[in-house]
A and B are shown apart, each in its own frame.
Chain A
Amino acid sequence: GNSVTQMEGPVTLSEEAFLTINCTYTATGYPSLFWYVQYPGEGLQLLLKATKADDKGSNKGFEATYRKETTSFHLEKGSVQVSDSAVYFCALSEDNFNKFYFGSGTKLNVKP
């Protein structure tokens, strides 16, 4: 079946530090991969996505590369800001209905 595994949080970093949040997946076919972000008090928002192997999604300084050989879609940012503090969810969709399978989320705290 389909599943997504993310690194446990919370992750606490100082401002301007490098961020990596690991995400690996299990799928039977060729999924599309997503990162969603949930800021405090707000709903889920798309951060970035990639729909085929070796694609790189990017947005707001965040990047993730779809690695089929390692079944991974790790989220990275070179220099985090306090405003990046949020919960980050990795997700995949595979079937014709595009229903999403989410990881359990990783909380990021960025300190000034």
Chain B
Amino acid sequence: GAGVSQTPSNKVTEKGKYVELRCDPISGHTALYWYRQSLGQGPEFLIYFQGTGAADDSGLPNDRFFAVRPEGSVSTLKIQRTERGDSAVYLCASSLQGSLGETQYFGPGTRLLVL
């Protein structure tokens, strides 16, 4: 069975450009999470989807960040007007229902570098 996949694995962009990062969760998982991991740090929560809706977007750093999950499966994280401080590894995770204590399964991440 396939795990969580993320594309691209690496993305280099210039300051001010727009980027999209894609996450394909495990089939049947209704809960999907995005995290951001800076060098030498643990992942930090960005946004949580239950089905198609963003149930908790409290971790998005500002309004340049947006995410969608239109059909309740694949999700796209969108970053507008990228800044050098956005450089990080963006991780996606999914779990069956999003219940407390459930294991989250992580993708390999997208490494974003903003020049």
Interface residues of A (CB under 8 A from B): 4, 32, 34, 36, 42-46, 49, 51, 89, 91, 93-105
Contact = CB atoms under 8 A, between A and B. Distances in A.
B107 A98 contact: no
Interface of B: 4, 31, 33, 35, 40-45, 48, 50, 55-56, 59, 91, 93, 95, 98-109
A102 B93 CA distance: 14
Contacts of A32: 100-101
Nearest to A52: B101
Nearest to A42: B108
B41 to A, nearest CB: 5
A95 B105 CA distance: 18
B103 to A, nearest CB: 5
B84 to A, nearest CB: 22
B108 A43 contact: yes
Contact of A98 (B59, B98, B108): B98
Given A43-B109, A44-B91, A44-B106, A98 B43 contact: no
B56 A97 contact: yes
